[in-house]
Structure 1
Amino acid sequence: GRLPVCSSQVIEEAEVGHSRLVMVAEFDREALLEESGNISSEAIWRTTEIRSLKPNWTSFRDARLIEDRDAQLLIRFQREPLHTQGALMSEDSQAFCLAFLTILKNVNNEESMQYLLTTLDELMKDSRDVAKLFKQMVGSRMDPFSVLTDLMSKPDDLVAARACNVVVHFINAGLVPTENSVRSLMDFVRTETQRDSKHKKFCFLAILSVLQALLRDHERRIVFYEAKGLHMLIPLLKNHNGNTQLIYQVCHCIWLLSYTNEIKPRLADMQIAAILTHILKQVQKEKVVRMILGTFVNLISEGEMVNVLSVCGAHRLLENMKQRTWNDEDINSDMDTLLEKVSLNVETRSNFDDYSKEILSGELEWTPMHRSIAFWDKNVHKFLEKDMTVLKTLLEYIKPGTSVENKTIAIALHDVGEFVRAHPSGKALVTKHGAKPYIMHHLTSHDQSVNKEALLCVQKLMCH
């Protein structure tokens, strides 16, 4: 892969020299707007409204929740406009950071939490220097990661989401959470993403962005994997409900995992490849395409991955994708790399075992084997092996009333026709298994591809 594995350090954009890592771990608000239809940024985040709040800092002092010095600092801070608040913090960074963290930890007041988290999020979004001021607090009794992790569990989605954003800012600024903090953050993300839709969409995506930031570090990727993190990600891809931003963020996590040698063998399997290939067919967003192709490139030399991609129909898919114009250079480069590898594999490894796996998986695609005369002439006798399981499965797919996609029926009809053409007893065997009426039934199909393949199959039955 192109991403250097740097143990115990955050992978920065400059290290990678690759356009796809630019701000990838930042919370993507523009994409969120896109996902949210008519919901505006201000409607979601209420920044102006919350910034105009005037929490009563002295009341918290009077309740002995904070010191007088903290209250005076916060009053002074609140009087400043946003564009000068960062500079004010840097004048006495330790005092301001301690005051903020003390409030966030000790004061269970929604207004004050929303005000401080919103302000910190906005300040850090404009300048990483603000986030770096908190570095001196890491590992102390007021550890910023520990304080923010607790806030991420608050029932107020806005507080939880802003807390997630601030954690991401900390990591992007180079703050390194302690081992305990890493485990707490990962446990939180895993728990929250596996629950039923407790959070609003913007909060759920903010929680996922914390995982994206954490996985930029090699050691944390190992920790995540060993904690069965993939079991969390795969269901999210299966049940994305068309949420492009969710798909992107999960694919970005998998892409990051694909840079770790210890994890690559688990990623290079049929299930993940089939899911990602299916998403490529459905989603045209370049950032999603970029992540999936980048993952495939990282895994292409791993084990049987190139063979797995062939079985999943990647060859035809990539050829179709090449016909489109892509603005992202990484996409074009990765397509060329993958096409070269997969095309060579199709030529050298179109074998019956691969074909059988595809047919028995139920995930039929127009892989090159189906249309290869050489494949059929070489392998047709193998359809009689193992009690003709593969042939019987094809016939089951074309049986009227079977709940399968039209594409599966069309491919199965094509293959039954090829079996009839290539095998001396093909017609007799298909007739013996009562498949003729099945084929005739599909001549009246309203699906064009099914109708076409049924007609060709009938012609082969008549001619052989």
Structure 2
Amino acid sequence: MSNSSPDPSRKRKGRKKKPTPRRKQQRPPPLYPAGGGLFGHPVMDHAELTTEQVLKRDIPWESYMANKLISGTCLQLLRRYDHKPESQRGPLLDEDGPSYVRVFLNILRNISKEDTVEYVLALIDEMLAVNPKRAALFYDNSLSGEDIYDPFLRLLLKGNWFVQEKSCKILTQIISARPKMQNGIVPNGEASNSKSKLTSTQDVLRGLVDWLCSQLRNPTHPNCSVPTAMHCLATLLREQYVRALFVQADGVKLLIPLISPASTQQSIQLLYETCLCIWLLSFYDAAVDYLSTTRVMPRLVEVVKGSTKEKVVRVVIMSIRNLLAKGAFAAQMIDLGLPHIVQNLKAQAWTDEDLLDALNQLEIGLKDNLKKLSSFEKYKQQVLLGHLDWSPMHKDPSFWRENINNFEENDFQILRVLMTIIDTSADTTALAVACYDLSQFLQYHPSGRIVVADLKAKDRVMKLMNHENAEVRKNALLCVQRLFLGAKYASFLQT
């Protein structure tokens, strides 16, 4: 008998003893694929079922043998194994593990009774939990003709939540343990020149990634779907092929909302595994390209500022370190104040050597990038292209002190372009930055007021003091104030 809660609607029907036709008419419509299972139960029926509860069941193996669903040999193996402690099961698996794997696979393939399917999945899950290396048993030569993936892939798509979760975790462990191709033999027992129809690893990985993404988009279980998906992805994304599948499935964006400060143990683990996935994806250029279009960096920085859990800080810092040299991430990091955050982190008493090394590398990398980002050539290119934004150099005093004389090049070409931007640009950020840069020139150049006056800048900037955008008005006012005060008093004005 099953320990799981029966379907309430079925229970009521049994008490009323209605005729079969009436019972069929009143049977609830199947809930799969909208949210149900292979066995006629809603997926949530067994949502809270635990492995321990399932393993307390007594499965009628003798009846299955009598009905020729399992063989006599299977029954003997099950009698030795079932309801035995690990101290007895361990030696059995060491001695004849592949035979037990074959028994489990045959049951999942031939028996559809829900209680039994759940029970066998719980047995396999427990077997692998005690010793993950047992996943290699599925690749024993004696199982070369078995389709070791299909039973789990099928149940992953059709079972209730307990069945789905166990199938997903087991399949993840098994496929991650597959051996490399040797002597013409590929995983799942299929010879490289074989025409058999065994499920390919590519099909399994594609099916897994699709299912995991679907759980992140529309969780089957309100509390367990996302943690389960992230736990499996943190293993699967170690493979380059899976990273490609994940990007193709538009899965990267599903991770970003999960990157936020955590407090409970469960949420900390979810955050850790999410950030671990980001770290794994940081080795794949297509994923990095997508990440650059998201708010991943502000979220990572927010996490590292507020987290005290060493493993979380480590994986975030290592992710940031990997992203430092890619795209525009370096400028983002500096804008977000990461150099100061790294200094604060280095002052803390961490024990993880990988974290300490990553912090040192990140500190050096940020310093190098700050120099590059503050170079006059980069600034000049930005101005000439009219692509002004609040990159670090604009508010870096050392940049203005070191480069103020460079503004004299080509008869103050940079200033004249800034004035053109002020006159013609419709971009409020560009207008605000242009006004600010002009005010910085007024502050740092000894003849700033004379040069700017020759450009007839006063009236042109004053027009922006009535601009509808507050940031533009603020920086236009600052520029005009410095124009009137001159360099001697300009430094007293707040920026």
TM range (shorter): 0.5 to 0.7
Q: Which amino acid aligns with 1:328?
A: D
Which residues of 2 match residues 125-204 of structure 1 at below 5 A? 125-136=129-140, 140-171=144-175, 173=177, 175=179, 177=187, 180-194=200-214, 195-204=217-226
State the SS of the aligned residue for 1:197: coil
Quick one: structure 1 residues 155 and 383, their matched pair in 2 at CA, closer, same or farther if it must change by over 3 Å? farther
The correspondence for 2:251, drawn from 232, 236, 255, is 232
Q: Which amino acid aligns with 1:103?
A: I
The correspondence for 2:429, drawn from 389, 394, 397, is 394
State yes or no: 1:102 paired with 2:103.
no
Residue by residue, what CA displacement relative to the aligned partner does 1:24-81 show, whole Å, maximum 9, x if unpaired?
Answer: xxxxxxxxxxxxxxxxxxx966232222122222333344332233234223321312
Deviation of 1:432 (Å):
0.8
Q: Which amino acid aligns with 1:432?
A: K
Q: Provide structure 2 residue ranges, at least 5 long, that are not aligned to the other structure.
A: 1-46, 181-186, 189-198, 262-266, 408-413, 487-495
State yes or no: 1:370 paired with 2:395.
yes
**C-alpha separation in 1, matches of 2:311 and 2:55:** 32
Deviation of 1:100 (Å):
0.6
Q: Which amino acid aligns with 1:50?
A: V
Quick one: structure 1 residues 113 and 311, their matched pair in 2 at CA, closer, same or farther if it must change by over 3 Å? same
Which residues of 2 match residues 241-390 of structure 1 at below 5 A? 244-259=268-283, 263-264=284-285, 267=288, 271=292, 275-283=296-304, 284=307, 285-298=309-322, 300-301=324-325, 306=330, 309-310=333-334, 314-350=338-374, 351-352=378-379, 367=392, 369-375=394-400, 377=404, 381=415, 382-386=417-421
Do the aligned partners of 1:157 and 1:199 also contact (CA within 8 Å) in 2?
Answer: yes
Q: Which amino acid aligns with 1:210?
A: C
**C-alpha separation in 1, matches of 2:209 and 2:459:** 58
Bigger shift: residues 157-166 or 134-143? 134-143
The correspondence for 1:112, drawn from 109, 112, 116, is 116
Bigger shift: residues 430-439 or 66-75? 430-439
State yes or no: 1:86 paired with 2:90.
yes
Bigger shift: residues 242-251 or 104-113? 242-251
Match for residue 431 of structure 1?
A: 462
Deviation of 1:352 (Å):
2.5
Q: Which amino acid aligns with 1:68?
A: G
Quick one: structure 1 residues 315 and 141, their matched pair in 2 at CA, closer, same or farther if it must change by over 3 Å? same
**C-alpha separation in 2, matches of 1:109 and 1:439:** 68
**C-alpha separation in 2, matches of 1:235 and 1:356:** 36
Match for residue 59 of structure 2?
A: 55
When the two structures are superposed, what TM-score results if normalisation uses the length of structure 2? 0.63
Do the aligned partners of 1:273 and 1:312 also contact (CA within 8 Å) in 2?
Answer: no
**C-alpha separation in 1, matches of 2:431 and 2:314:** 37
Bigger shift: residues 67-76 or 370-379? 370-379
Match for residue 183 of structure 2?
A: none
Task: Point out which structure has higher relative CO (alpha carbons under 8 A, 6+ apart).
Answer: 1
Match for residue 79 of structure 2?
A: 75
Quick one: structure 1 residues 270 and 153, their matched pair in 2 at CA, closer, same or farther if it must change by over 3 Å? closer
Do the aligned partners of 1:268 and 1:304 also contact (CA within 8 Å) in 2?
Answer: no
Do the aligned partners of 2:243 and 2:281 also contact (CA within 8 Å) in 1?
Answer: no
Bigger shift: residues 377-386 or 284-293? 377-386
**C-alpha separation in 1, matches of 2:381 and 2:207:** 39
Do the aligned partners of 1:168 and 1:210 also contact (CA within 8 Å) in 2?
Answer: yes
Do the aligned partners of 2:438 and 2:479 also contact (CA within 8 Å) in 1?
Answer: yes
When the two structures are superposed, what TM-score results if normalisation uses the length of structure 1? 0.67
State yes or no: 1:207 paired with 2:229.
yes
**C-alpha separation in 1, matches of 2:252 and 2:78:** 41
**C-alpha separation in 2, matches of 1:286 and 1:355:** 39
Quick one: structure 1 residues 66 and 462, their matched pair in 2 at CA, closer, same or farther if it must change by over 3 Å? farther
Deviation of 1:249 (Å):
2.6
Deviation of 1:99 (Å):
0.8
**C-alpha separation in 2, matches of 1:123 and 1:388:** 73
Residue by residue, what CA displacement relative to the aligned partner does 1:69-113 show, whole Å, maximum 9, x if unpaired?
Answer: 323422332131234223223333232111111112222233223
Quick one: structure 1 residues 129 and 322, their matched pair in 2 at CA, closer, same or farther if it must change by over 3 Å? closer
Bigger shift: residues 270-279 or 148-157? 270-279
Do the aligned partners of 2:342 and 2:359 also contact (CA within 8 Å) in 1?
Answer: yes
Q: Which amino acid aligns with 2:58?
A: K
**C-alpha separation in 2, matches of 1:83 and 1:354:** 71
Do the aligned partners of 1:138 and 1:145 also contact (CA within 8 Å) in 2?
Answer: no
**C-alpha separation in 2, matches of 1:412 and 1:106:** 73
Q: Which amino acid aligns with 2:205?
A: L
**C-alpha separation in 2, matches of 1:270 and 1:227:** 13
Do the aligned partners of 1:50 and 1:115 also contact (CA within 8 Å) in 2?
Answer: yes
Do the aligned partners of 1:286 and 1:326 also contact (CA within 8 Å) in 2?
Answer: yes
State the SS of the aligned residue for 1:112: helix
Residue by residue, what CA displacement relative to the aligned partner does 1:401-420 show, whole Å, maximum 9, x if unpaired?
Answer: xxxxxxxxxx9997796477
Do the aligned partners of 1:248 and 1:287 also contact (CA within 8 Å) in 2?
Answer: yes
Deviation of 1:115 (Å):
2.2
Quick one: structure 1 residues 102 and 305, their matched pair in 2 at CA, closer, same or farther if it must change by over 3 Å? same
State the SS of the aligned residue for 2:224: helix
Do the aligned partners of 1:160 and 1:203 also contact (CA within 8 Å) in 2?
Answer: no
Quick one: structure 1 residues 349 and 272, their matched pair in 2 at CA, closer, same or farther if it must change by over 3 Å? same
**C-alpha separation in 2, matches of 1:288 and 1:413:** 42
Q: Which amino acid aligns with 2:70?
A: I
Quick one: structure 1 residues 63 and 331, their matched pair in 2 at CA, closer, same or farther if it must change by over 3 Å? same
**C-alpha separation in 1, matches of 2:310 and 2:269:** 12
Match for residue 23 of structure 2?
A: none
**C-alpha separation in 2, matches of 1:86 and 1:361:** 67
**C-alpha separation in 2, matches of 1:309 and 1:456:** 27
Quick one: structure 1 residues 442 and 436, their matched pair in 2 at CA, closer, same or farther if it must change by over 3 Å? closer
State the SS of the aligned residue for 2:247: coil
Q: Provide structure 1 residue ranges, at least 5 long, that are not aligned to the other structure.
A: 1-42, 398-410, 444-452
**C-alpha separation in 1, matches of 2:471 and 2:242:** 56
Match for residue 216 of structure 1?
A: 238
**C-alpha separation in 1, matches of 2:466 and 2:119:** 70
